Structure 1
Amino acid sequence: MKINANDYYADADFKISERSTKPSFDLDKKTAKKELKKQRRKLAEFQERLFANDRRAVLVCFQGMDTSGKDSLIREVFKDFNVRGVEQHSFKTPTDLELSHNYLWRHYITLPAKGNFGIFNRTHYENVLVTRVHPEYLLNENLPDIHEVSDVNQDFWNMRFEQINNFEKQLVENGTIVFKFFLHLSKEEQKNRLLRRLNLPEKNWKFSSGDLKERALWDDYQRCYEAAIANTSHEHSPWYIVPADEKPIARLIVSSILNEKLDDYEDVNFPTLDKEELDKIETYKEVLSRD
């Protein structure tokens, strides 16, 4: 089995209805978990080199409908990472402080430093997804030309797509490697997962009546995802559409894509000592041996 990143790439012609929510290959859970262990060990090795090299950062973004498996995927894929070199941020309803700045501000201040991985669990794309399905939320941003919902038109969303493209291009040009994953879940599988959540005492605390209200807007969200992905997927900051109905395989696909693309960065290596320090190594060994 070979997982090829290009098979999951979304371009400007992306149509969400043409992508399956189920994997294109059969793999039992036990084998998928075994393969995932290999992939995440390789990712952890890259993280170690990235941290030591200290010239690039990696930003991994996850979007998906409720119950698409973002939390558990992040836990399983990045389990072997050194916690010193990775941070996860989840962006929920903006605070008053965040609303007093432009919508990208809260994302800027949480970007990974060089040498680190950053994980966005829900991302800056909420600003062209949730706010597009619920344009009334934009009124909280106190934008100069938006006084009522009717002021929000296609030109506004095109502007936001351009701003997000520029934001990501700037990141890449300054050394950040950007990945964006859409966990593509079927409506039927979401229903099953919500029912399981309700039936399990240790899980039902996660359920909110708001989950059902958002589920009723499923088709609106699918249209908004399609537009957002088609307008912002580029070679330097690609979107990958991951079939998410089977969690173990979704995790394997994400980790495999990350490793395949990170292999291209041959410059991310451990630093080498200069000649003067190399010449002293034997002396240092001798001093330590006599200690």
Structure 2
Amino acid sequence: MTIAINTQIHRVSPQTPINLHTSLTTPPTDFEHSKKALKEQFKTESKALTHLQELMYAQSKHAVLIVFQAMDAGGKDSTIRHIMTPINPQGCRVLNFKAPSAYERERDYLWRIHQHVPPKGCFTVFNRSHYEDVVTVSVNDFAPKHIWQKRYNHINAFEQLLTDEGTHILKFFLHISKDYQKHRLQRRLDRPDKHWKFDPSDLVARNHWDDYMQAYAQAFNTCSVNTDAPWYVIPAENREYRNLAIIQIINQKLQSLDMQYPAPQYDASQYKIN
């Protein structure tokens, strides 16, 4: 049995402002499939993604930029590992954007982002992204409002430039509840092998949960105007649902490109390997 998630219910529409306090963090109540069934469907989708990535790499006409944002313990690392592991590493790169360095702060905030967008034929995955420069900056007052408020227009123009030049952008927010985050953070403290994943600064951000929800919602509502660079708010407390929803969205985008292997620049019938 094929399991197809209705991923459109997770897509942010600029006509319908999103409220993250009421958005799903678990699968819809009418979605009833076992963990085993979801994993089996994911394997099928993973094989399809491997083939589609090879087509994109061979054709070298399109590029894909995948953006992941989440609150701490939202599952970005796990999601990236599950989705991207089967992909040929020659055609994929993962970038983790932490706080900008002093060198980067001497330049415009998009400078460090733009130089890492994918070349034709390749995937690039951003673990955090340029959206930190409106969300984290606004919540923590790292810049005056008249500075970061302008950045929504900058980001929309930047993403429009990329899509106009053949880069397809998919943006995913892995949505969890505050209670679920508490459970995941406590797990990091309880298990010695997870201590390395805990950062006391995570608790500072947790104290501003509502501010982050409001800032993310504003970013999603404002920066979903480019229909070729949509935001998806993915329920992330069920890993199997999360992974399957995301890989199906990626595959649907790649399938829509109608990619073909490039025709050889020679007559293959004229050659014989001795």
Secondary structure of 1:111's match? Answer: coil
1:161 and 1:222 map into 2 onto residues whose CA distance is 17
Give the CA deviation at 1:208: 1.7
Partner AA of 1:101 in structure 2: R
Q: Is the 8 A contact 1:182 1:240 kept in 2?
A: yes
Give the CA deviation at 1:96: 1.0
Aligned equivalent of 2:250: 258
Indicate which of 126, 129, 151 corresponds to 1:123: 129
* Structure holding more helix per residue: 1
Aligned equivalent of 2:119: 113
- Aligned positions of 1:1-291 closer than 5 A: 1-12=3-14, 13-24=17-28, 25-135=31-141, 137-138=142-143, 152-153=144-145, 155-233=146-224, 234-266=226-258, 268-274=259-265, 277-278=266-267, 281-285=268-272, 288=273, 291=274
Give the CA deviation at 1:172: 0.2
Give the CA deviation at 1:257: 1.1
Secondary structure of 1:202's match? Answer: helix
Give the CA deviation at 1:29: 2.3
Normalising by structure 2, we get a TM-score of 0.94
2:250 and 2:161 map into 1 onto residues whose CA distance is 21
RMSD, aligned α-carbons: 1.2
Q: CA offsets per residue over residues 147-203 of structure 1, 9 Å max, x none?
A: xxxxx23x5444110000000000000000000001011111101111111111111
Secondary structure of 1:242's match? Answer: strand
2:78 and 2:58 map into 1 onto residues whose CA distance is 28
Q: Is the 8 A contact 1:58 1:178 kept in 2?
A: yes
Partner AA of 1:93 in structure 2: A
Gaps of 5+ in 2: none
Partner AA of 2:11 in structure 1: Y
Structure 1, 199-208 or 21-30: larger mean CA deviation: 21-30
1:175 and 1:282 map into 2 onto residues whose CA distance is 34
Q: Is the 8 A contact 1:4 1:257 kept in 2?
A: no
1:262 and 1:284 map into 2 onto residues whose CA distance is 33
The percentage of aligned residue pairs carrying the same residue is 37
Aligned equivalent of 1:143: none
1:38 and 1:181 map into 2 onto residues whose CA distance is 21
Q: Is the 8 A contact 1:61 1:181 kept in 2?
A: yes
Give the CA deviation at 1:14: 1.9
2:64 and 2:136 map into 1 onto residues whose CA distance is 25
Normalising by structure 1, we get a TM-score of 0.89
Q: Is the 8 A contact 1:3 1:257 kept in 2?
A: no
Q: Is the 8 A contact 2:137 2:148 kept in 1?
A: no
Q: Is the 8 A contact 1:10 1:239 kept in 2?
A: yes
2:233 and 2:185 map into 1 onto residues whose CA distance is 22
Q: Which has the larger Rg?
A: 1
Partner AA of 1:63 in structure 2: Q
Give the CA deviation at 1:79: 1.3
